[in-house]
Structure 1
Amino acid sequence: MIRKPKVVTTVAAAALLALSACTNDGDDTTAAEPTTTSTTSVVEETGTDTPGEAGEHSEADVMFAQMMLPHHEQAIEMSDMILAKDGIPQEVTQLAEEIKAAQGPEIEQLTEWLDQWGEPTEPEGGHDGHDMAEMDGMLSDEELQQLSDAEGTDAARLFLEQMIAHHEGAVTMAEDEVADGTYPPAVDLAQTIIDTQQAEIETMRDLLNSL
């Protein structure tokens, strides 16, 4: 009668040890779970932040695209005029070809951005509703007619003079985008326009001096 309690005590102790072991195993598994969840969260956040940042644009970006479009289109119109004439120095026609080659793809890019942003290619009220100061260097219809009527060296000289002023206006507009724009690709394009057209301005001044 005295030994029986000892057996019960031993069995009870063994049961407690087994229960403790099971409890510890469960704790280890539970503790590991938050680490996996935390890692997944970081990856998801990294994956979603980058596209969002790349798509951000501002009113300055929209205005840059809307106003640079007709500016580039007029530069191509002027270049086509001079290329259609006889007696134009080769250096001038080569410059006109280079202007078309550079600004044609830029027109396509500007149009594509506006489409992606859900914006029209013209500002509200159209370009005619804006002060011409907002489109520096744009030629009037009368000035375009003067270029159309000119011939030979006179046409080449007029083209260079008009295109210098036109380029200077584009540089001013591009500088505004570099300062105020928030859409990185548009800011990069603006800087490219500044670099390219400033170099072309110097070339045109040299050509003017040689005529």
Structure 2
Amino acid sequence: MTIRAVVFDFGGVLFDWSPHHLYRQLIPDAERRQWFLDNVCTQAWNTLQDAGRPLAEATRSLVAEFPQHAQLIEAYYGRWPEMLKGPLEEGVALLEELHQAQVPLFGLTNWSQETFPYAWEHYPFLRRFRDIVVSGQERQIKPDAEIFHTALARIRVHLPDIAPDELAFIDDHQPNIVAATALGWEAIHHVEVGGTRRRLGELGVV
């Protein structure tokens, strides 16, 4: 088996994104903040926007459900850039190393189509990718198999005869690793860059 391309997830691999970066400012008490993010602006709610639901609709519906938290809910997307602390330097360094080695690079990210343009505008290293599949644009989302099929089809525009087992897929979320592996991709569970680099070395990529 030869790995012919590497596919990167973004959050937790290349970007330090967390609602806590914003809500530490808005809810200083850690216990209250965690309750709010576990019960109001939840990850499950955010995932619906990553799957394509408009941000305004999502905000409106949640404010109707929790009117006492209206200002905090509206801040989630109103101040969304403050959740994106910035790049994870070691992950970006790995990306740059692969780019310098002329390894074809692709992105596969769960991300709202309305917030992704901010990242594209502010982080030039995203230009290293030949193509990026953004869940919100496709209205598909990891770990569903459908978005992996979409990504493979888009990769084949550049590498027409590539097989799933010739792709190394780097993601920090275990369910996505399970899904990719089931489809024949060589999936690497990203915990820290050293471990990911070692696995890429074992695969003959770096």
TM-score normalised by the chain length of structure 1? 0.27
Where is the helix percentage greater, Structure 1 or Structure 2?
1
Please say which structure displays the higher CA radius of gyration. Answer: 1
TM-score normalised by the chain length of structure 2? 0.27
Where is the strand percentage greater, Structure 1 or Structure 2?
2
